């Protein structure tokens, strides 16, 4: 990467970069995947695609992303891991929103500088867009790119997903022959469809050994067969064994426009705009065997610190769960800015910059939710066993769809697992949205001292506001005990598809047989459109469980001075950069939340928080200031060998969730019993 090497060699401090030419040599789908080619940069992925960037071990929330040196508004509600209750609290920029084709250069500042905005303790990442006056040719020029993305995971799809999806981009640039005026427009469209399959137990409980071995407790009986009896102080026990299959869709649109006017060699005016839209959806289904306990057989591993149950079995008539989930969000980002560079004398220059950016992430399901889930199940499981000893969880079970359980429930007694054995349980509608706005103004005065030396003073003001709102509604259908076996076939039989989920594990062996080869799939929104009004008429309406609405405002004023020196030491070229930055930050947090009225115990370990109306606003204010020095030095110790050292003090800011004024009331964390001594 020749351009990146040049930037790294010639910059003060530790700076890496990658240019558009270098980006074009690789099939990167977004900027995160381009950045991972830089030393010390790694990425986290969502549905197999780069999402956030970690630098020197610091994750996305500890890194600052700027666009042409300006702070970007950022929002994200990450449901990619199946977290239906995800809310927008993060500061980290989601690189899924930007295509790599629209970028001229990516710069990664791994050390602090006085003139670089704070907020990145790992790095400050500057995204530089294409400028019309930088084009190599006068007049009208442009480029068109077309790619086709083939995703082999789509071969496992149950829906009609596309194996090959388009990625289109185009740039039109015009500048006059005198290179005093230029305009460019960039646009891109990218679509990707994919699937994923995983095994992911709901929760691992860390249990005191004495509690586990208590035969009058929840885990074992006097007749339980325990192999490799544990001796560690604590043991790990899973809540269930669970497989999950998802079909994902991502549609991204990017647009940029830039205008440059340079009437003289001393004055340059730039106006630029960016628009990005990213729509994500995930249709997900589960195949779950929940442990009812106590266990009939348990085998532990040999871990000397904390032994883990690797084989568990129980013989208890219970249900198999097939929750259907649909997640969908739409993120929109726009940024508009203007910049003036004026060299009003041969040695004095002035830079002025203003920018406004806004980002929103909103629910995008057809029913207005960010997540809709509906639990369906079949009370037909006679025995259940899960074996983790091979390295991959293998479920096995036996079926009895004739026995009535828990108040007269049972299957259709045809000795096979089919849609006639299904009933409903509980449905949830989750609404989450996040909005972020940033207004930024900056000015910098520079004095060229000659001999590669320069002194600058500047100021930067940022007014940022982030709002995150969410609510959770729950509706009891057939209840967790499935009191309506057969109702799914009766009301929504045409919406449920029977398929083999475990057959989709082409790299692992679930060793499934019999009823373990059967799973069910349907669109959660479509199913709830049928069952919600049906059970509302039976006196089981949709009920608010809780809501919150938090707004955090930050106003940051910074002033800085920085001196660059260039010269020779012992006949070797050397450079130094020394600066100091002072920042003052004011924070105001306003929270609105529903006040819980009750904590309802529904059954077993199922607790529900009953939400009430929103209370009065809670307002919290705070302020802090920081003095941030920096020093960079490099010297060419040998021809083409540069040695450098750097010192800086910088800061990162807390996740917005840590600044919210509201307080969340949750159900107890999977208790086995609650009570108190009688008076």
Q: Are 581 and 653 in contact (CB under 8 A)?
A: no
Pick the closest to residue 448 from 355, 375, 541, 350 (CA basis): 350
- DSSP element (H, E) containing 38: none
pLDDT in tens, 27-65: 676 778 888 888 888 888 877 777 788 888 888 888 888
Task: Enter the DSSP assignment of 405.
Answer: B
- Share of residues in the chain with pLDDT > 90 (%): 62
Give the C-alpha separation, 277 to 280, whole Å: 10
**Residue 493 class from Cβ within 10 Å (0-12 exposed, 13-18 middle, 19+ buried)?**
exposed
Give the C-alpha separation, 263 to 349, whole Å: 16
pLDDT for residue 677: 39
Give the C-alpha separation, 373 to 353, whole Å: 46
Q: Are 587 and 553 in contact (CB under 8 A)?
A: yes
| b/e per residue 588-608 (b: at least 16 CB within 10 A) | bbbbbbbeeeeeeeeeebebb
Give the C-alpha separation, 545 to 354, whole Å: 43
Q: Are 284 and 307 in contact (CB under 8 A)?
A: no
Pick the closest to residue 292 from 242, 237, 226, 240 (CA basis): 240
Give the C-alpha separation, 463 to 442, whole Å: 12
Pick the closest to residue 508 from 381, 387, 417 (CA basis): 387
pLDDT for residue 674: 39
Give the C-alpha separation, 150 to 221, whole Å: 53
pLDDT for residue 670: 52
Tokens 């100021």, residue located: 459
Average pLDDT estimate for 304-321:
93
Q: How many CB atoms lie within 10 A of CB 495?
A: 15
Residue 675: which residues within 8 A CB-CB, separation 6 or more?
Answer: none
pLDDT in tens, 1-31: 566 677 777 777 788 888 777 776 776 767 7
User: And the tokens for 382?
Assistant: 């006679």
User: And the tokens for 490?
Assistant: 């009766």
Instruction: List the domain boundaries for the chain.
Output: 2-658
**Residue 189 class from Cβ within 10 Å (0-12 exposed, 13-18 middle, 19+ buried)?**
middle
Average pLDDT estimate for 423-434:
96
User: And the tokens for 82?
Assistant: 């199946």
Give the C-alpha separation, 359 to 16, whole Å: 27
pLDDT for residue 34: 81
The number of residues making up the chain comes to 679
Give the C-alpha separation, 39 to 25, whole Å: 17
pLDDT for residue 322: 97
Give the C-alpha separation, 44 to 48, whole Å: 9
User: Which residues are bridge partners to 664 per DSSP?
Assistant: none
Q: Are 95 and 32 in contact (CB under 8 A)?
A: yes
What phi-psi label fits residue 380: left (phi over 0), alpha (psi between -120 and 50 degrees) or beta? Answer: alpha
More confident site: 43 or 555? 555
Give the C-alpha separation, 452 to 454, whole Å: 7
Q: How many CB atoms lie within 10 A of CB 137?
A: 9
- Share of residues in the chain with pLDDT > 70 (%): 93
pLDDT in tens, 344-397: 999 999 999 999 999 999 999 999 999 999 999 999 999 999 999 999 999 999
Give the C-alpha separation, 290 to 292, whole Å: 6
Average pLDDT estimate for 444-458:
93
Residue 644 DSSP SS3: strand
Inform me whether the pLDDT recorded for 127 exceeds 70.
Answer: yes
User: Which residues are bridge partners to 401 per DSSP?
Assistant: none
Phi, psi of 156, deg, nearest 5: -90, 0
DSSP assignment of 493-536 equals GGG-EEE-SGGG-SSS-----GGGG-EEE--HHHHHHHHHHHHH
For residue 666, what pLDDT band results from cuts at 50, 70 and 90?
low
Q: How far, rounded to the nearest angstrom, does the alpha carbon of residue 297 sit from its chain's CA centroid?
A: 39
Task: Enter the DSSP assignment of 152.
Answer: G
For residue 78, what pLDDT band results from cuts at 50, 70 and 90?
confident
**Residue 170 class from Cβ within 10 Å (0-12 exposed, 13-18 middle, 19+ buried)?**
middle
Inform me whether the pLDDT recorded for 476 exceeds 80.
Answer: yes
| b/e per residue 259-268 (b: at least 16 CB within 10 A) | bbebeeeeeb
pLDDT in tens, 240-287: 999 999 999 999 999 999 999 999 999 999 999 999 999 999 999 999
- Using CA atoms, how far residue 368 sits from 88, 160, 362, in Å, is 17, 24, 9
Residue 502: which residues within 8 A CB-CB, separation 6 or more?
Answer: 243, 287, 395, 510, 512, 516, 517, 519
Tokens 């959770």, residue located: 472
Mean per-residue pLDDT over the chain, rounded: 89
DSSP E strands: which ranges in 62-154?
Answer: 64-67, 70-71, 103-109, 124-129, 139-150
Inform me whether the pLDDT recorded for 676 exceeds 50.
Answer: no
Give the C-alpha separation, 441 to 353, whole Å: 6
User: Which residues are bridge partners to 432 per DSSP?
Assistant: 470
Give the C-alpha separation, 362 to 440, whole Å: 24
- Using CA atoms, how far residue 119 sits from 92, 220, 260, in Å, is 10, 51, 29
Q: Are 437 and 513 in contact (CB under 8 A)?
A: no
Residue 215: which residues within 8 A CB-CB, separation 6 or more?
Answer: 221, 222, 224
Pick the closest to residue 490 from 400, 366, 324, 376 (CA basis): 376
Phi, psi of 390, deg, nearest 5: -85, -5
Give the C-alpha separation, 120 to 117, whole Å: 8
Average pLDDT estimate for 610-628:
83
DSSP assignment of 159-212 equals S---SEEEEEEEEEEEE-TTSSEEEEEEEEEEEEEEEEEEE--S-EEEEEHHHH
């Amino acid at each position: 990467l020749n351009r990146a090497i040049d930037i790294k060699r010639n910059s003060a401090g530790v700076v890496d970069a990658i240019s558009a030419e270098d980006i074009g040599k690789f099939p990167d789908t977004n900027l995160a995947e381009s950045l991972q080619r830089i030393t010390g940069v790694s990425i986290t992925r969502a549905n197999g695609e780069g999402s956030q960037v970690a630098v020197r071990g610091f994750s996305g929330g500890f890194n600052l992303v700027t666009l042409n040196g300006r702070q970007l508004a950022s929002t994200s509600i990450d449901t990619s891991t199946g977290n239906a209750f995800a809310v927008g609290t993060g500061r980290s920029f989601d690189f899924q929103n930007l295509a790599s084709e629209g970028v001229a250069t990516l710069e990664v500042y791994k050390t602090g500088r006085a003139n670089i905005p704070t907020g990145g303790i790992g790095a400050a990442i500057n995204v530089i867009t294409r400028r019309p006056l930088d084009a190599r040719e006068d007049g009208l020029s442009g480029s068109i790119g077309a790619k086709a993305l083939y995703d082999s995971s789509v071969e496992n799809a149950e829906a009609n997903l596309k194996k090959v999806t388009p990625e289109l981009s185009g740039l039109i640039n015009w500048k006059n022959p005198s290179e005093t005026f230029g305009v460019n427009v960039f646009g891109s469209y990218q679509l990707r469809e994919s699937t994923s399959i995983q095994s992911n137990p709901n929760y691992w409980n860390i249990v005191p050994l004495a509690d586990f071995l208590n035969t009058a407790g929840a885990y074992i009986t006097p007749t339980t067969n325990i192999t490799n009896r544990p001796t560690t102080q604590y043991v790990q026990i899973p809540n269930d064994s669970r497989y999950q299959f998802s079909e994902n869709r991502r549609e991204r649109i990017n647009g940029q426009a830039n205008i440059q006017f340079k009437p003289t060699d001393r004055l340059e005016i730039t106006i630029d705009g960016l628009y990005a839209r990213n729509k994500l959806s995930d249709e997900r289904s589960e195949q779950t065997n929940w442990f009812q306990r106590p266990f009939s057989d348990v085998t532990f591993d040999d871990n000397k610190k904390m032994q883990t149950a690797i084989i568990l079995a129980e013989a208890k008539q219970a249900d198999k769960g097939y929750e259907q989930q649909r997640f969908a969000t739409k993120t929109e980002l726009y940024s508009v800015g203007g910049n003036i560079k004026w060299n009003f004398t041969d040695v004095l220059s002035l830079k002025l910059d203003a920018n406004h950016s806004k980002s929103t992430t909103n629910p995008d399901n057809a029913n207005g939710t960010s997540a809709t889930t509906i639990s369906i199940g079949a009370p037909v499981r006679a025995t259940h066993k899960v074996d983790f000893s091979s390295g991959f969880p293998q479920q096995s079970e036996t079926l009895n769809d004739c026995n009535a359980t828990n108040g007269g429930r049972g299957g259709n007694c045809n000795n096979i697992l089919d849609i006639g054995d299904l009933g409903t349980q509980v449905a949830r509608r989750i609404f989450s949205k996040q909005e972020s706005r940033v207004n930024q103004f900056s000015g910098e005065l520079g004095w060229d001292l000659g001999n590669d030396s320069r002194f600058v003073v500047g100021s930067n003001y940022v007014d940022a506001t982030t709002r995150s709102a969410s609510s959770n509604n729950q509706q009891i259908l057939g209840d967790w005990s499935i009191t309506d076996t057969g109702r799914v076939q009766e009301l929504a039989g045409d919406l449920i598809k029977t398929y083999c989920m475990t057959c989709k594990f082409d790299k692992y062996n679930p060793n499934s047989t019999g009823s373990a080869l059967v799973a069910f799939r349907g669109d959660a929104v479509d199913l709830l459109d049928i069952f919600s009004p049906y059970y509302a008429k039976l006196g089981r309406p949709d009920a608010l469980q809780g809501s919150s609405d938090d707004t955090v405002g930050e106003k940051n004023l910074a002033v800085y001075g920085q001196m660059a020196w260039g010269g020779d030491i012992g006949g070797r070229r050397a450079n130094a950069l020394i600066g100091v930055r002072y920042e003052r930050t004011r924070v105001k947090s306003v929270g609105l939340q529903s006040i819980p009225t009750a904590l309802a115990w529904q059954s077993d370990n199922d607790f529900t928080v009953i939400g009430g109306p929103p209370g009065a606003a809670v307002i919290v204010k705070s302020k802090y200031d920081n003095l941030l020095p920096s020093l960079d030095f490099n010297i060419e110790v040998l021809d083409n060998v540069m040695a450098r050292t750097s010192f800086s003090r910088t800061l990162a800011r807390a996740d917005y969730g840590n600044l919210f004024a509201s307080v969340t009331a949750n159900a107890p964390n999977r208790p086995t019993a609650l009570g108190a001594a009688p008076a």
